[in-house]
Amino acid sequence: MKNTTLWAVVIIIVFFGILFGTTAFYIVDQTQQAIVLRFGNIISIKTEPGIYVKTPFIDNVVKLEKRIMIYDIPVERVITSDRRTILADTYALWRIEDPQKFIETLRTVEVAMTRIDDIVYSHARDVIGNYTFPEVLSFQRVAILEDIKNRSEASLQDFGINVVDVRLKRTDLPQENTEAVYERMKSERYAMAAQLRAEGEREAQRMKAEADREASMIRSDAQKEAEIIRGTAEASALNIYSEAYSLDQDFYELQKITDIYKDSFNNSVLVLPNDSPLLKLFYEVE
């Protein structure tokens, strides 16, 4: 009887020893941070990895992720400043920066993601609403995301959450608007092409008029110069004729009459009477 009682005591001691050992210690690895709660109150926070001691059956340990987490925000409709509805597909990178604030305000990661969803979408709607649809698709997209990230970070700071980044995976138009926007963009491109063609035509006409004006000036100058050269040549010819006439008047008259007959009866047979002045001159030469 005594042995049975002794064994029972030993078993109870071992049982409580094992139970104490499994409930008095807890492990925190490098990816975690732990909050020790006692009757709902925070009594300690462990952010470094290691083995720690707590009061068995009284203290409750809540472990939170220390690494950066990603929350894929559902696709939401957002209206731009030019009244176009777009589908914004965003996601947020975040981490628990202050475990105490996080436990006091949100308690769990699931509740935190719900709050992140509400806040990031609210700021995305407000920021994108200040830009036109082309601006959202342009290089200003980086500034838009930075603005959303800064606003979200400020709003979630009181919950112990640090927003590392906010990104837009894609920006689409709703299906019902796609065709209308496509037609509108096509019309705008046609109008732009027509304007460019008209400007090109005006520029071509201007250049052609300028070229015609310069050609006319060149022809006028050339004609003027030709007239001057022609006048100078005729004056020189008259001088030569005058000098030749003064040297031999008869030969000069013969030359002139010969030129007159040659010009008047080109490629023809010329019959001259005996008393022709031309033959008279030939006779005198003989």
CA angle (58 as vertex; 55, 62 as ends), nearest 5: 85
159: left (phi over 0), alpha (psi -120 to 50) or beta: alpha
Helices in 56-174 by DSSP H: which ranges?
A: 99-105, 109-128, 133-137, 141-156
Tokens of 262: 């040659």
Q: How confident is the model at residue 207 (pLDDT cuts 50, 70, 90)?
A: very high
Amino acid at 18: I
Q: How confident is the model at residue 6 (pLDDT cuts 50, 70, 90)?
A: confident
**Strand, helix or coil for residue 97:** coil
| pLDDT in the model for residue 185 | 82
| pLDDT in the model for residue 270 | 67
Tokens of 201: 């035509």
Is the predicted pLDDT of residue 237 greater than 70, yes or no? yes
The Cα-based distances of 14 to 21, 23, 89, 106 in angstroms read: 10, 14, 57, 40
C-alpha–C-alpha distance, residues 91 and 88, integer Å? 10
pLDDT one-digit tens code per residue, 136-150 = 888 788 889 999 999
Is the predicted pLDDT of residue 129 greater than 80, yes or no? yes
The average confidence (pLDDT) of the chain is 86
| pLDDT in the model for residue 135 | 85
- Roughly how many angstroms between the first and final C-alpha of the chain, as a whole number? 190
